[in-house]
Chains A and B, each alone.
Chain A
Amino acid sequence: MAISRTLNIAESGLQVYQQALDVTSNNISNSSNTNYSREVVNLDSATPTSSAGTIWGNGVTLKSVQAVRDTLTIGQIITNNSAYSYNNQLSTELGDVQSLFNEPSTDTTSSTTSVSNTTDSLSNSTSAFFTAWQNLASTPNSVSLRNNVIQAAQSLSNNISTINSGISTVKTNTSNELDGDLTTLNNDLTQIQSLNAQICAANAAGETPNDLVDTRLSLIKSISNLTNVGVSYSSAGAAVLSIGGVLAVDQNTYNQFSATEVNGKLTINSSGSSSPVNLSGGGTIGAEVDTYNTYIPEYQTSLNNYVNRLMTSVNDLHETGYSITNPTQNGTAFFSNYADGVLSINPSLVNDPNSIAVSSDGTSGNGDIATSIADLANKENSSGTTLTDDYSSLVSKIGTDTQNATNQSDNYSTLLTSLNNQESSYSGVSLDEEMTNVINYQRSYQACAEVISTASNMLETLINMMGGS
């Protein structure tokens, strides 16, 4: 056998272990990169040759550099990301709505001793309103108590306007957040399409584009935070994403998503579909769509029903009463209307509190109507519910929805932590492990170099022998 063969075999070792050190170095460099999947070097024996009846090894080759990924766990992470983000975002949006109601109110005395201010809760200002009527009932001709009724009604009206205005703001913010999320989604899809093309080209060339795949996976995870996404892979290695049953991106194309408001509801459109896309139920986009289209309208309807019931009940009684003006007036509504979230008080009563109809028989000291109005808070309607029941049900519903979303968010967060740990356990970089590899590769490299040195000495000896003859 020629000495040169020994040299070639050792040289293969030098090359391979240098490449292996490169991979280890790359792993160490990315040890704090959460999107990185560690790479392992797969070594193989070089194809042996047969000579003089013996099979001779030809050293070592680098078979592949493989990224370590747990695809099953990654699939679970993508699925649960959507559920977590949906509930987390929903919890935030509904939390914004519930904070508008300022419940549970802690200052009950403000509703009984004075007219509450506009920062008070609706329950307190409603109680203050009915208490003002109760007080007026005992002294019906008191102008100051009549003014108190007007002030309490204005405070109640201000609270209702503030809540309605706040709900509108939440809706506007939700719509703006949706636009931002759709922009992020569209950018991610554009990048994935580009990465798909690069990855497919690399695969076709027999390369292993691990870093590109990691970057693409990071984008897919980002999209799973935004919406429910279905992920599959083509034979060429392209990630094929579908969103809301519509193709979002593949190797060659990507679609863009946008939102429009139709009849007060947000509709998601895709450039890849002529029909609206249903994105509710998953990711932050789903939470924003559901908050805008389902939750807030439901709360607004309940609030409007409550205010309309209050207005109608008060007006029905007030219109049967008599003022203490001269001449007395009858048939006057207390609230003029409730429109666009504003409960308006009859201006004629604001201008002249004596026009408030407190008397049931026209005498100035009769307070029957005031008493009846004061009793409205806890008077049952035909369905057996009181105004207080209606309001507490509304607040409780908002609280329950928010609590459910928060609890679900916490549950999915715990699950995701476990899955991410699982993924990190599989794909994350362990510095101890990498340092062990460094030592192994370094030792192998040194050994190969030593072999080359030895072979070189042998060759030199041989040459000297030939020179000596």
Chain B
Amino acid sequence: MRISDLEMSQTFIQNYNNINTQLNTLQTQIATGNKIQEPSDSPSGTASLIQWNSQLAQSQAYSSNVSTASSFVTDTTDTMQSIQTDVSGIMTTLSDLGNTTDSSNYSNYAQQIEGSLSDILSLANTKSSGQYIFGGTDESTAPYGYSSDNSSIQVKSSDISGTQVIKTSGSTTQQINMSGSQVFGTIVSQNGSIDSTTSVGGTVSDQSTVYDTSGNSYTLKVNYTKTAADTYNMTYDVLNSGNTSVLSSPPASQTLVFNSSTGNLQSINGSTPTQTQVNIPGSNINFSLDQSAVTEKSGTTSLSLSANQKTDIFNTLIGIVNSLKSGTALTSDQTQAVSDFNDRMLDNIAEAGNVTNQLTNTGTLLTSQQSQLTDLISGVQTVDAAKSATELSNLSYILNATYEVAAKIMNSTTLLDILS
């Protein structure tokens, strides 16, 4: 084959450029530690990296949620333990009271209990990272406070039953707060079942006694009017002893839908069933109506309403203090109410502990998930240092060889040299 002189130099330049291009790519990869510098280096790898980075960012956000929630739940647990300590102290005081017949000391006991009450009230309004721990989802005001005449303690915020929920994965959530109604409030539960054969337009009712903060009784009436198969409009009313409604205006009806197969309550107003907060400040009445247990069954309607307590712990304690100050011995109901609340607090502390455990487990899972994602990203993106070093050495060797060959060929003796 005929070889021209120009071809020799062009071939060298071509080879030199090829090797230098590879060296430059390798140098950039080693310097940045990344195999993929731009999408065209590996379009599918880039797409995977974007997906994995997005998942990693989301997972890290969930971890952040878990961290924030853990702090909140820890504060909640600490606060409840403090409350429980106060209540435990009150129970000791009440026990001492039971052993004394000298009513002249009642005022001293009243002062002790009043101090504990003040402490409990303060703890009930504790904040964690700017949020009222027991305020539900209403952050506008402290959830509990004295009435204007200081005769009772009322719920001050609009809704203490709200749940604070964080996402811990794409499909799972975790409630992190113990609502005020759960810890301190009165929950009236609707139990039993509604007859599914009830005609459309037919109404079934149930009623129970509820109490204001002073212990005065009222009647809670709940009506369920069937509007369609498995669907009922629920209304309620609270009546005083004169059988007059104490509500300022009739509450909006709620649409309850039952599962046609299981008969369990499926939704309230199209959403997952939640407690209905009934707050009547004018009458010092505050309770939550929990309908999650009511079912629909074929047969006779059998409904029953039951409350977890008559009066909340604050007003129970106010009643105890007032009794002691007036030299009146405590009733067994009053003592039992404190004891019940203490049990309730222990249950709540245990539940908070469970939430803490769940958050810890979730955090561990998320960390593991992030580790796996980081491994995936690293596998596609991170340069294999040993491999790169070998390639660098190889390319350097080839470049040197190319220089040597070019120097020999392009500088070799020609006929011209011989002639001259």
Contact = CB atoms under 8 A, between A and B. Distances in A.
A365 B166 CA distance: 12
Contact of B2 (A138, A359, A397, A430): A430
Contacts of B68: 135, 138-139
Interface in A1-59: 31-32, 34, 38
B137 A395 contact: no
Interface in B114-156: 129-132, 135-140
A365 B58 contact: no
A392 B41 CA distance: 15
B36 interface: yes
8 contacts: A104-B381, A131-B58, A363-B138, A378-B54, A392-B46, A399-B42, A427-B4, A431-B416
B50 A395 contact: yes
Nearest to A123: B50
B43 A400 contact: yes
Given A138-B69, A392-B47, A371 B165 contact: yes
Q: Which 9 A-B pairs give the minimum distances between C-beta atoms?
A: A428-B4, A399-B39, A365-B137, A399-B43, A127-B57, A402-B40, A396-B47, A134-B61, A363-B137
B4 A424 contact: yes
Interface stretch (A94-102, A215-223, A252-260): A94-102
A281 B58 CA distance: 43
B62 interface: yes
A439 B420 CA distance: 12
Contacts of A38: 4
Interface stretch (B6-14, B78-86, B308-316, B391-399): B6-14
A374 B414 contact: no
B158 interface: yes
Contacts of A103: 38-39, 46, 49-50
B96 interface: no
A361 interface: yes
A198 interface: no
A124 interface: yes
Contacts of A429: 4-6
Interface stretch (A105-113, A233-241, A262-270, A447-455): A105-113
A303 to B, nearest CB: 14
B1 interface: yes
- A31, A112, A365, A430 — which one has the most chain B CB atoms within 10 A of its CB? A365
- B36, B58, B130 — which one has the most chain A CB atoms within 10 A of its CB? B58
Contacts of A135: 61, 64-65, 68
A381 interface: no
B282 interface: no
Interface string A437-464: 0010000000000000000000000000
Nearest to B63: A112
B130 A124 contact: no
B296 interface: no
Contact of B1 (A101, A402, A425): A425
A108 B53 contact: yes
Contact of B49 (A104, A142, A363, A375): A104
A225 B126 CA distance: 77
A388 B137 contact: no
Interface string A122-138: 01101110110011011
B367 to A, nearest CB: 14
A432 B46 contact: no
A417 interface: yes
A227 interface: no
A355 to B, nearest CB: 16
A426 B419 CA distance: 25
A388 B51 contact: yes
B261 to A, nearest CB: 28
**Is chain A's interface secondary structure helix, strand, loop, or mixed overall?**
helix
Contacts of B319: none
A263 to B, nearest CB: 29
A132 B61 CA distance: 9
A38 B136 CA distance: 93
Given A104-B381, A137-B167, A141-B130, A112 B61 contact: yes
B99 interface: no
B241 interface: no
A172 interface: no
B339 interface: no
A305 B54 CA distance: 19
Contacts of A359: 137
Nearest to A359: B137
Contacts of A32: 5-6
B5 A428 contact: yes
Contact of B46 (A91, A94, A389, A395): A395
Contacts of A424: 4, 6-7, 10
A429 B5 CA distance: 6
Contact of B7 (A388, A403, A425): A425
B258 to A, nearest CB: 23
A138 B137 contact: no
Contacts of A81: none
Contacts of B132: 365
Contact of B129 (A105, A139, A403, A428): A139
Contacts of B270: none
B159 to A, nearest CB: 6
Contacts of B416: 431-432, 435
Contacts of B40: 91, 94-95, 98, 398-400, 402-403, 406
A375 B166 CA distance: 12
B415 interface: yes
A378 B169 CA distance: 11
B34 A31 contact: no
Contacts of A391: 50
Given A123-B53, A123-B54, A141-B130, A99 B38 contact: yes
Nearest to B166: A138
A363 B158 contact: yes
A391 B53 CA distance: 12
Nearest to B46: A104
Nearest to A377: B54
A24 B2 CA distance: 17
Interface string A397-433: 1111011001000000000010011001111111111
A367 interface: yes
Interface string B19-51: 000000000000010101011111111111111
Contacts of A399: 38-43, 46-47
A430 B61 contact: no
B131 A141 contact: yes
Contact of A436 (B1, B60, B415): B415
Nearest to A370: B167
A111 B57 contact: yes
A393 B55 CA distance: 16
B39 A106 contact: no
A366 interface: yes
A315 interface: no
B346 to A, nearest CB: 26
A323 interface: no
A431 B50 contact: no
B131 A31 contact: no
